[in-house]
A and B are shown apart, each in its own frame.
Chain A
């Protein structure tokens, strides 16, 4: 060990001495040989000659000793880096082209990886996230494989389970915040007291909710509590991160809440502005599924064991409550799936795969550039070989250049990635989980570095293999210019084929997603979304009891309808195509025993005002709309049960009354729970109530009233809907300055928003495949122009022998087309194999969509022809007299 260090020191620090010593040693060896020869009777010149022959080249020996000398490599590498840099400076065209192609690839890869890392690899901001799970209800017999949990079932599950250290429930709600500027609508989350302890997160300042603090007597379930915890972002933006916020009061729906703590940042799971505790109350609902339930497994309890435990509880509940809990089951999902669901996960993997292909194309292009240059550099390499550079040294030397290029590309690429991710953040892209956390962290930079190394090696392999070693004398004699052909040309053709094949894969992927997206956008929505304005008005809870709310709704609608730009106006309880979807079991009388295939269907319910169907563009197919005579389905306290009227969507009416006219028939609402009877008065068209990517919904509409308020207003406008925004705002402010207006947008925007993830997949894959096409075009063009210029003498000869310009053009184009065709065939095969992974991202498009494949093949073929045409034209103009003189 010590001896090695000594030599390392000598070789690095006293390099010159070590070199002189070595030279002297070799000289002495030669002298000794000479002495030997003279002693054997040779005369001096002959002895010297013989000695030189036996010794071999002194320079090569020195070089070989250097190869074994410790530390010498560092110096050599430094020299090679300098030489490579000089070489790259001398060829600015190649350097800029190569580095920018790699920068595009690395920029795209780094951007996608930073999103991928943030969404899928970054751990949750909670203690022991592997013990954290989500628990949902299922009703498999009715095709419901994941629903929120009902309040009563949650408390039963919490009391009866043996697997969880703690379970907690949470529920999103909206309240009106007053006392901090104008009244505004605020998202809050009502949570059980142990919520944060279950997640495994503690407040940054203040304290957590204490057990028992969630108890309240108010029938409005979150109204019993008097304390609140703030989310980090809300604290930062509204209280500028002031620790003195503790003890202050928030007025939510006209009730005071004392702020007791602030949560750390933890988007997207801890990003609500305000958290309020709620507790167990007797007589809570078992039929309305509204609670998101999280559980923390006891240490050492496997997820499978917990599943068994819950299955047991489900069986008990199903037995004890045959109405609401018939066929109930529980499902457990690990917390690793909270951030990104299956579809998002799949989409991110697909994007990562896409950028890998893009990166491969860029590397192939750079390999091609370097190959072309390597051919031109044969002489230089031959000289190095003659001077004793071994194969390993040559390979290292050639690779150095590709490594430096990819290093340059990486630096530029990181810049591109930064700009891309920041742009996405600035555009407020939705559907990309934890986008705000994506950025250039050490993970991402490490990835880029590894990518740069891999790319450098990959694009350096072909040129390095091509470096001539054996035929030094030939290479030296041949000079710089020789005809095309040989392994170099074959290798370049192979790389070209690869590029086309990879581009084909990307283009097919993008084509399928774009077709899916256009299907989504053009599918019949049921609604008319054009020329429609949508906005929410949130009223304090007190407006429901005394009729103020209904009056306000009526006055808003009257005032809206009086505006000349308004064609129709109506209001509904839940924003169409938004995530929220309250539902119920609904049944018609006499539909069998109500189990199995005859189980009552599950339908979304929506409170609607008269005029809503017209405003939403839902066609009335039978019966009548709601009018002023229809009353809410809920009885007012102290009054007799109302005569209930409902309107059904077409498919729901067909399921409930397959053989009869539904008008005038009876249905049972909330079957298995409150079992309210109602009469069907109308049937309207089906709609994509749950978003463009979902199936048409089954919907039952119920009338609004004093105790059934709506919050979403839909207005059909004449002309641009957004031009009405100002009038709407002032109109509401005039009517009641205390109710905030929120989420004002066109219906079209809301519809598009419901497929934002699909849109982003299509856009990103489209961009990547566009880049791939660009790179492949540059690659084909580059290879052909290079090989045409190398073949100038040959082409000159052909022309001299009588080939016409058209022949030459045909020859060049054919040279480009052959690898393109091979690439297309390979790409089609690969796409056929790989697109199966796209299946669940597609909508009404088969993975093997013939027209997409055909279009992509056509596009690539046209590109290949165009890219070969230009060099072909140049070849046509070659003057044989000049070309042949170059020989």
Chain B
């Protein structure tokens, strides 16, 4: 399942979810998503960076340079208040879709 293509919009909500707990740098976000989806989604840098920049421009994320646990300089992203609202909204929507989909697939 490692090559599952990310559905449109999935990446955004996964990034928001990852950052909901604590600010993180890019690689950590990528690893967190891998972990929580049990390896179903592997986020490549080529998709991650455009998404991060797009969401930052939308005002959902803020970023600043910080230092990682092994003392590397890294850019840390955190959720802003609009980002949190966006996350709640998208999470609720995904829950609805997922429930509807699994319900539909079960009944067939």
A residues near B (Cβ < 8 Å) are: 2-4, 7, 22, 24-26, 28-29, 31-33, 35-36, 54-56, 60-61, 64-65, 67-70
Chain B neighbourhood of A28, CB < 8 A: 25-26, 72-75
Q: Are A70 and B57 closer than 8 Å at their CB atoms?
A: yes
Instruction: Tell me, rounded to whole Å, the shortest Cβ–Cβ distance linking A260 to chain B.
Output: 70
Chain B neighbourhood of A36, CB < 8 A: 27
**Could you say which of B9-17, B43-51, B87-95, B100-108 contacts chain A?**
B43-51
> CA separation between A772 and B68, bound complex, in Å?
70
Q: Are A4 and B59 closer than 8 Å at their CB atoms?
A: yes
Q: Are B50 and A65 closer than 8 Å at their CB atoms?
A: yes
> CA separation between A435 and B77, bound complex, in Å?
67
Known: A29-B45, A65-B53. 9 other contacts (CB 8 A): A25-B75, A28-B25, A29-B25, A32-B68, A33-B27, A35-B72, A54-B44, A61-B45, A68-B51
Task: Evaluate whether A7 and B56 lie within 8 angstroms (CB atoms) in the complex, with A28-B72, A32-B68, A32-B72 already known.
Answer: yes
Q: Are B45 and A55 closer than 8 Å at their CB atoms?
A: yes
Q: Are B49 and A64 closer than 8 Å at their CB atoms?
A: yes
> CA separation between A22 and B65, bound complex, in Å?
12
> CA separation between A55 and B54, bound complex, in Å?
19
Task: Evaluate whether A56 and B44 lie within 8 angstroms (CB atoms) in the complex, with A3-B58, A35-B70 already known.
Answer: yes
Instruction: Tell me, rounded to whole Å, the shortest Cβ–Cβ distance linking B29 to chain A.
Output: 10
Task: Evaluate whether A56 and B57 lie within 8 angstroms (CB atoms) in the complex, with A25-B26, A28-B25, A28-B74 already known.
Answer: no
> CA separation between A4 and B45, bound complex, in Å?
23
Chain B neighbourhood of A60, CB < 8 A: 46
Q: Are A32 and B27 closer than 8 Å at their CB atoms?
A: yes
Q: Are A29 and B57 closer than 8 Å at their CB atoms?
A: no
> CA separation between A65 and B25, bound complex, in Å?
16
Chain A neighbourhood of B53, CB < 8 A: 22, 65, 68-69
Chain B neighbourhood of A35, CB < 8 A: 70, 72
Q: Which 8 A-B pairs have the closest CB atoms?
A: A3-B59, A68-B54, A32-B27, A7-B57, A68-B50, A64-B50, A25-B75, A28-B74
Chain A neighbourhood of B50, CB < 8 A: 61, 64-65, 67-68
Chain B neighbourhood of A67, CB < 8 A: 50
Task: Evaluate whether A69 and B57 lie within 8 angstroms (CB atoms) in the complex, with A61-B45, A64-B49, A64-B50 already known.
Answer: yes
A70's closest neighbor in chain B, by CB? Answer: B57
Q: Are B25 and A32 closer than 8 Å at their CB atoms?
A: yes
Task: Evaluate whether A29 and B26 lie within 8 angstroms (CB atoms) in the complex, with A4-B58, A7-B57, A65-B53 already known.
Answer: yes
> CA separation between A68 and B12, bound complex, in Å?
14
Instruction: Tell me, rounded to whole Å, the shortest Cβ–Cβ distance linking B12 to chain A.
Output: 12
Most buried by B among A24, A67, A68: A68
Chain B neighbourhood of A31, CB < 8 A: 72
Q: List 29 A-B contacts (CB under 8 A).
A: A3-B56, A3-B58, A7-B56, A7-B57, A22-B53, A24-B75, A28-B73, A29-B27, A29-B45, A29-B74, A32-B26, A32-B72, A32-B74, A35-B70, A35-B72, A54-B44, A55-B45, A61-B45, A61-B46, A65-B49, A65-B50, A65-B53, A67-B50, A68-B51, A68-B53, A68-B54, A68-B57, A69-B53, A69-B57
Task: Mark interface residues in B81-99 (1 if CB within 8 Å of A CB, else 0).
Answer: 0000000000000000000
Chain A neighbourhood of B46, CB < 8 A: 56, 60-61, 64
B47's closest neighbor in chain A, by CB? Answer: A64
Instruction: Tell me, rounded to whole Å, the shortest Cβ–Cβ distance linking A67 to chain B.
Output: 7
Instruction: Tell me, rounded to whole Å, the shortest Cβ–Cβ distance linking B33 to chain A.
Output: 15
Chain A neighbourhood of B26, CB < 8 A: 25, 28-29, 32
> CA separation between A55 and B30, bound complex, in Å?
12
A7's closest neighbor in chain B, by CB? Answer: B57
Instruction: Tell me, rounded to whole Å, the shortest Cβ–Cβ distance linking B80 to chain A.
Output: 8
B residues near A (Cβ < 8 Å) are: 25-27, 44-46, 49-51, 53-54, 56-59, 68, 70, 72-75
> CA separation between A4 and B55, bound complex, in Å?
10
Most buried by A among B26, B53, B59, B75: B53
Most buried by B among A54, A56, A60, A65: A65
Instruction: Tell me, rounded to whole Å, the shortest Cβ–Cβ distance linking A24 to chain B.
Output: 8
Q: Are A56 and B45 closer than 8 Å at their CB atoms?
A: yes
Instruction: Tell me, rounded to whole Å, the shortest Cβ–Cβ distance linking B79 to chain A.
Output: 13
Instruction: Tell me, rounded to whole Å, the shortest Cβ–Cβ distance linking B62 to chain A.
Output: 9
Most buried by A among B45, B49, B56, B74: B45
Chain B neighbourhood of A32, CB < 8 A: 25-27, 68, 72, 74
> CA separation between A67 and B53, bound complex, in Å?
10
Most buried by B among A24, A32, A35, A65: A32
Instruction: Tell me, rounded to whole Å, the shortest Cβ–Cβ distance linking A203 to chain B.
Output: 62
Instruction: Tell me, rounded to whole Å, the shortest Cβ–Cβ distance linking A367 to chain B.
Output: 33
> CA separation between A65 and B73, bound complex, in Å?
20
Chain A neighbourhood of B59, CB < 8 A: 2-4
B74's closest neighbor in chain A, by CB? Answer: A28
Chain B neighbourhood of A7, CB < 8 A: 56-57
Chain A neighbourhood of B70, CB < 8 A: 35
Q: Are A3 and B75 closer than 8 Å at their CB atoms?
A: no
Most buried by B among A25, A31, A36: A25
B63's closest neighbor in chain A, by CB? Answer: A25
Instruction: Tell me, rounded to whole Å, the shortest Cβ–Cβ distance linking B74 to chain A.
Output: 5
> CA separation between A514 and B58, bound complex, in Å?
64
Instruction: Tell me, rounded to whole Å, the shortest Cβ–Cβ distance linking B63 to chain A.
Output: 9
> CA separation between A710 and B74, bound complex, in Å?
104
> CA separation between A70 and B57, bound complex, in Å?
8
Instruction: Tell me, rounded to whole Å, the shortest Cβ–Cβ distance linking A386 to chain B.
Output: 15
Chain B neighbourhood of A61, CB < 8 A: 45-46, 49-50
> CA separation between A7 and B59, bound complex, in Å?
10
Most buried by B among A2, A29, A35, A36: A29
> CA separation between A32 and B76, bound complex, in Å?
13
Chain A neighbourhood of B58, CB < 8 A: 3-4
Q: Are A3 and B72 closer than 8 Å at their CB atoms?
A: no
A35's closest neighbor in chain B, by CB? Answer: B70
Chain B neighbourhood of A70, CB < 8 A: 57
Instruction: Tell me, rounded to whole Å, the shortest Cβ–Cβ distance linking A10 to chain B.
Output: 10
Q: Are A26 and B45 closer than 8 Å at their CB atoms?
A: yes
Chain B neighbourhood of A26, CB < 8 A: 45, 49
Tell me which of B57, B73, B74 contacts A3 (CB under 8 A).
B57
B75's closest neighbor in chain A, by CB? Answer: A25
> CA separation between A60 and B44, bound complex, in Å?
12
Instruction: Tell me, rounded to whole Å, the shortest Cβ–Cβ distance linking B59 to chain A.
Output: 3
Chain A neighbourhood of B73, CB < 8 A: 24, 28
> CA separation between A70 and B55, bound complex, in Å?
11
A3's closest neighbor in chain B, by CB? Answer: B59
